[in-house]
Amino acid sequence: MKKITYVTGNWAKIASAKQYLEPLGYEIDNIKIETPEIQSDDVTEVAKYSAKWAANELNIPVIKNDTGFFIKHYNGFPGAYMKYMDETLKVDGLLKLMEGVEDRSAYLKETIAYCEPGGEPIVFEGKTEGTIAYESSGEYGWGIIDHVFIPKGENKTLGNFPDEERWNFWSVQAYLDLAKYLDDKDKTFMK
Amino acid sequence: MKKITYVTGNWAKIASAKQYLEPLGYEIDNIKIETPEIQSDDVTEVAKYSAKWAANELNIPVIKNDTGFFIKHYNGFPGAYMKYMDETLKVDGLLKLMEGVEDRSAYLKETIAYCEPGGEPIVFEGKTEGTIAYESSGEYGWGIIDHVFIPKGENKTLGNFPDEERWNFWSVQAYLDLAKYLDDKDKTFMK
């Protein structure tokens, strides 16, 4: 069985990867290691750099992901620095930033970089449009985005959806594209 | 004459380094290159990583600096991401964040990393305490911090001081310490 290592400690991400890749004959294991991250407001560059580093360091094919949150009115802030905003501004700071701002639209971007040892990283992306709520709500989730981001077509924040429903909002397209890439690659190889 | 290369394109930084290091017999030249930056909210780590990379890449002793801005109420935000905040939140976003916040204290931190090829970076720091103004003012400066940060003991923002006065507010201690380090090192070497 072909094996891919997901460089993450987040069980929901591992579950997502398994859901889409196991049916194609891939075994997904995972490892939680700190990878060097370049300072960039582009989540794609961050994921690519980390995936390449990990593939070479571990000498196995790896997946590395990075998630960004982009507020239109603030030119894409906080972007790749979502986690840092969580820890510093917190939910009060974010809601204060949005006071009196008419355009509350924002999007989540999930980037998955797949890399084989010695190779170049290949990137797959998922994007979820939505808006920022007027107050924090929801009992599920890991960060403040879960409690203030309302996906398009919904009337409540991500944090109101249990984990197994929630991650589908932003990661599906990226995993589907990765699965298609691996499937095509295997077929080409077998020809 | 001993030569140190400052990895920067900022003339004020070069002038600062010359002011403190030329009297010790050092010639300061400069080069403007992009160095890889790790993603860290710690300006010290960012400067160290870049200095080591540049010293090895150029094979000469180098100086690399990084500046951070830390707002107490927001747990040190924006820290090393000052430039990113400039480009996204802009001055309106920063002032909105401070609305109704009682503790307006903040500080600027200047980190200078000195590194010789094959060596480990050595770090020197300068810190300037102050507060965030209620409105933007001042005609000088490069970023929004210049227009909202009032150094302790002053009654106007950095942006009200011409360049040749302004940089003294945060960089003096770091350069003095670097000069002392180089001077001590030369004396030890001559013994």
Tell me the pLDDT band of A80, cut-offs 50, 70 and 90. confident
Domain CATH for A110: 3.90.950.10
Of B93, A46, B17, B161, the closest CA to residue B6 belongs to: B17
List, for residues B102-141, the tens digit of each pLDDT value. Answer: 999 999 998 999 999 999 999 999 899 999 999 999 998 8
Beta strand pairing call for A62-71 and A78-79: antiparallel
> By the 8 A CB rule, do B98 and B155 touch?
no
Q: For A95, name the nearest residue in chain B, comparing CA atoms only.
A: B97
User: Between chains, do B76 and A85 touch, taking CB under 8 Å as contact?
Assistant: no
Residue B111: both structure tokens together:
């980190």
Phi, psi of B152 (to 5 degrees): -55, 135
| pLDDT value at residue A61 | 95
List, for residues A17-58, the tens digit of each pLDDT value. Answer: 898 889 888 999 999 888 877 777 788 888 999 999 999 999
Residue B85, min C-alpha distance to chain A (Å): 8
| pLDDT value at residue A89 | 96
User: From chain A, which residues contact B within 8 Å (Cβ)?
Assistant: 36-41, 46, 74-81, 84-85, 87-90, 93, 96-97, 99-100
The complex scores an ipTM of: 0.75
Q: How far apart are CA A134 and CA B79, in angstroms?
A: 27
| pLDDT value at residue B119 | 96
State the residue range of the domain holding B51: 2-190
Name the most confidently modeled range: A24-33, A149-158, B20-29, B162-171.
A149-158
DSSP-derived 3-state class of residue A17: helix
Please report where in the chains the tokens 């013994």 appear, as a residue. Answer: B191
Name the most confidently modeled range: A151-160, B164-173, B176-185.
A151-160
Mean pLDDT of A124-149: 93
The chain-wide mean pLDDT, for chain A, equals 90
**B163 Cβ contact list (under 8 Å, min separation 6):** B12, B140
Tell me the chain A residues in contact with residue B84 when contact means C-beta distances shorter than 8 Å: 41, 77, 79, 81
| Global pTM value | 0.81
User: Between chains, do A89 and B99 touch, taking CB under 8 Å as contact?
Assistant: no
Residue A128, burial from CB neighbour count under 10 angstroms (0-12, 13-18, 19+): buried
B17 pLDDT higher than 70: yes
Cα B98–B71–B124 angle (5° rounding)?
155
Domain count, chain A: 1
> By the 8 A CB rule, do B49 and B36 touch?
yes
Residue A27, min C-alpha distance to chain B (Å): 31
Of B54, B44, B49, B100, the closest CA to residue B76 belongs to: B44
User: Between chains, do B75 and A97 touch, taking CB under 8 Å as contact?
Assistant: no
CA distance to A36, A93, B133, per residue, from A103 (Å): 35, 17, 27
| pLDDT value at residue A93 | 96
Residue type, A183: D
| pLDDT value at residue B191 | 60
Of B38, B77, B85, the CB nearest to A36: B38
Peptide bond into A78 cis (omega under 30): yes
DSSP-derived 3-state class of residue A107: strand
Active-site entry in B29, B66, B103, B184: B66
| pLDDT value at residue B188 | 79
| pLDDT value at residue B104 | 98
**Sequential DSSP letters for A76-94:** TTEETTHHHHHHHTHHHHH
Of A50-54, A131-135, B34-38, the range with the lowest mean pLDDT is B34-38
Helix, strand counts (H, E) of chain A: 7, 7
Tell me the chain B residues in contact with residue A36 when contact means C-beta distances shorter than 8 Å: 38
Per the annotation, the verdict on B66 as an active-site residue is: yes
List, for residues B146-178, the tens digit of each pLDDT value. Answer: 999 999 999 999 999 987 788 778 778 888 899
**Sequential DSSP letters for chain B:** -EEEEEE---HHHHHHHHHHHGGGTEEEEEE------B--S-HHHHHHHHHHHHHHHHTS-EEEEEEEEEETTTTTTEETTHHHHHHHTHHHHHHHHHTT-S--EEEEEEEEEEE-TTS--EEEEEEEEEEE-SS---S--SSHHHHHEEETT-SS-GGGS-HHHHTHHHHHHHHHHHHHHHHHHHHHHH-
Q: How far apart are CA B190 and CA B80, in angstroms?
A: 38
List, for residues A172-189, the tens digit of each pLDDT value. Answer: 888 889 989 998 888 877
